[in-house]
Chain A
């Protein structure tokens, strides 16, 4: 990682030229520049942004982002594919991002540079949310011991609109077990949902068991479950997540591994 604080314009230019040369050679460094700057855009339209303190990000794929102090979106940017150059004129440090087709130029001119940072970022992983309710249900199906030893799942209602039955199976003694799954702390609502279902079904099947499975079951929910002869299981996410991760990955190989 290279860092330069409050550099003189000449030092800033040398830093940027060296780092941008690295970018072009695909050494993959992310370059950040902070300072007082103006931004000019020329292309399909033209815009001028007067001086302000901003953070400029130059990404290895040719993406340029100019961020102000507020808002999520950058105040100006170039999509991937731009080529960058640094310059110095009249004591002002310039950063130019040029795209052909359509021809677009973003010119950032610093009258003061506060900070320059260059660091490699390695990231081949897509953002992926693990641990949805569907994941938890799938994990319980695949690893029914998490519910209880001997439990054999028979049916999983993945996209049910009724939403009251997550998992259905039999226990080691052959009794039917319905399982309500919650990915966060289960409260009275989930306990009642399970009870409503079991209550309806017990007429036909007096031995029917109902189990609420969640990382945590609230005190009041436990009381309600106990009152109705229902059960609960607390499963720790730390135990379930690796299983979900393994299932998610599903061992999908990349073509790059072959030939």
Chain B
């Protein structure tokens, strides 16, 4: 059983967070909330998302898995304004999710979850941690996009840097000390990432929220932040590009 009511913008955040990586996702429903894990076909990025029942205006559920076609969900969300409330109910006999928005009822067929495995989350030990305001990060990404298709994330002692080196131009974001919410970087770390992936991930978080980056050298970055006013949480893992010359 799954019956819930929530603001369209919460659902939209989830969709934005996941749809950039996969077309279909298996949502795991429990009495306490939703969660999902998905890895993109190239195995470069993974999302691990949880949304507690407090993120919902109403929530009642038992344990179940739902396979959702994210393109369809996107179409449904286009029908709603961000502050609109959406009613969602799982109809087990028909294997459908029923959405009610205003005077519209939209029934969505679910995808068979039998062939949707659960991605294995790699167990990473990342030495450095940086907590930064999302708007700072987003500004750095904006500067980099004009220059290159990849960025280096560097943490060293009291400073965090985002560096984009293009064929001819460079962009550089440097934050240190009180410009960061927190930094713990006992050893210097540097990893290179696809800007495309990193940028879409960073767009999901609200500009005024904090983003935690866990970093190593030539190692994946773990990006963590809260969604839905702290009632939900997203963890992204992004594999690095290994520099070879």
Contact = CB atoms under 8 A, between A and B. Distances in A.
Contacts of B150: 250
Interface class of chain B by DSSP: loop
Interface in B192-245: 192, 194, 219-220, 237, 239-244
A256 B39 CA distance: 11
A154 B166 CA distance: 11
B104 interface: no
B74 interface: no
Interface stretch (B40-48, B128-136, B177-185): B40-48
Contact of A258 (B42, B45, B115, B220): B220
A81 interface: yes
B83 interface: no
Size range of the interface on B?
20 to 34
A257 B42 CA distance: 12
B167 A258 contact: no
A18 B197 CA distance: 44
B122 A253 contact: no
A256 B219 CA distance: 12
A102 B42 CA distance: 28
A74 to B, nearest CB: 20
Contacts of A258: 122, 124, 219-220, 239
Interface string A144-160: 00000000011110000
Interface string B25-69: 000000000000001001111100000000000000000000000
A204 interface: no
A172 interface: no
B243 to A, nearest CB: 6
Nearest to A138: B167
A193 B220 CA distance: 46
A101 interface: yes
B84 interface: no
B164 to A, nearest CB: 14
B168 A156 contact: yes
Nearest to A155: B168
A163 interface: no
Nearest to A252: B241
B43 A156 contact: no
A254 interface: yes
Interface of A: 62, 80-81, 99-102, 126, 138, 141-142, 153-156, 246, 250-259
Given A252-B241, A256-B122, 12 more contacts: A100-B112, A138-B167, A141-B168, A250-B150, A252-B42, A252-B44, A253-B239, A254-B42, A255-B43, A255-B237, A259-B121, A259-B123
